[in-house]
């Protein structure tokens, strides 16, 4: 299987879409979702551990405020 070079923005956009679709409504749920998405990519071989996964996870999880703002817009 080809190793895709997924950047943080691509993963964030996927996580954002899933979060909004499933109603993720707190930081803990967001953090878990991001971890699950990256784990899924590593499980199928699309990402390798050498791609500094911990840093990717931390960087994307830190963008919770953007998701929270989107959720607040949906409620208004």
Q: Count the Cβ atoms, other than its own, within 10 Å of residue 31.
A: 17
Judge whether 60 and 46 are in contact, CB under 8 Å.
Answer: no
Helices and strands, counts by H and E, the chain: 4, 0
Per-domain boundaries in the chain:
12-75
Q: What is the pLDDT of residues 12-63, one digit of tens each?
A: 999 999 999 998 989 999 999 999 999 888 887 777 666 688 888 999 999 9
């Amino acid at each position: 299987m080809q190793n895709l070079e997924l950047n943080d923005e691509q993963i964030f956009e996927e996580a954002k879409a899933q979060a909004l679709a499933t109603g993720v409504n707190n930081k803990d749920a967001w953090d878990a979702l991001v971890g699950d998405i990256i784990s899924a990519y590593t499980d199928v071989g699309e990402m390798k551990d050498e791609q500094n996964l911990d840093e990717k996870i931390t960087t994307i999880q830190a963008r919770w405020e953007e998701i929270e703002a989107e959720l607040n817009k949906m409620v208004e």
